[in-house]
Amino acid sequence: MIIYALLIVISFLASGCAFVGKNNIESKHHTVEPDFYSVLQTDCIECEITRLKNVIKTGSDPSLVGKSFLHLAFLYSSNKNVNPNYRLALEMLKKYDELKPEHKKKCFVSYLKSLLQQISENKNLSDTLNGQITALKKEYSKSESKNRLLKMKCKKLSKENHEMQEVIEKLKYLDIRLEEKRRKVE
């Protein structure tokens, strides 16, 4: 629930606040306008990630490389991304900070970095807890089957106990009759 709330805040901030002024990434094919990522379709995110990775790989224009890291952070953490990767988004923001140290003073990037850090930590905790839940479910299943076996064994022993009590009662009755016959014979 917290993760979704943080994603909404990140998306809101990413849609308007992060792209102020000349924050366009230019390529041979198109220019990324400030609102581009807010209207980007889910099926286009992977293509845009690939395109930005290529911009970084070629590294021809350092200002585009820095902005590409920032935009990759937005895409990796986007609520429209089918497979968001908050760890990678955080790495991209850290690389952006390394290339654009003057932006460290802007509280938006720091704020976004802290949000992604918290999301990443929550994801790790969630993964750990899911692993523990799976282990507990397996343990519960084993315990439940042992419990069923013990109940069946208990039922069987109870039945045997009842049968033994009946035999004991019959033997007592037989013993009493034998004692009576013996007295008659004496």
Give me the percent of the chain exceeding a pLDDT of 90: 29
Can you give the pTM of this predicted structure? 0.51
Could you tell me where the DSSP H helices lie in the chain? 2-12, 36-39, 45-58, 62-76, 86-99, 107-185
Cα–Cα distances in Å, from 86 out to 40, 117, 135? 19, 8, 26
What average pLDDT is seen over the chain?
78
pLDDT bucket at 2, cuts 50 / 70 / 90? low
Q: 94 pLDDT exceeds 90?
A: no
Of residues 8 and 72, which shows the higher confidence score?
Answer: 72
> Phi and psi for 19 in degrees, rounded to 5?
-110, 65
Helix (H, G, I), strand (E, B) or coil at 33: coil
pLDDT given at position 131: 94
User: What is the sign, positive or negative, of the torsion defined by CA atoms of 80, 86, 88, 90?
Assistant: positive
**Banded model confidence at residue 37, pLDDT cuts 50, 70, 90:** low
Using alpha carbons, select from 52, 78, 77, 81 the residue that is nearest to residue 67.
Answer: 52
> Which range has the top average pLDDT, 22-31, 79-88, 153-162, 177-186?
153-162
Q: What pLDDT score was predicted for residue 132? A: 95
The predicted pLDDT at position 25 comes to 46
Structure confidence at residue 3 as a pLDDT band (50, 70, 90): low
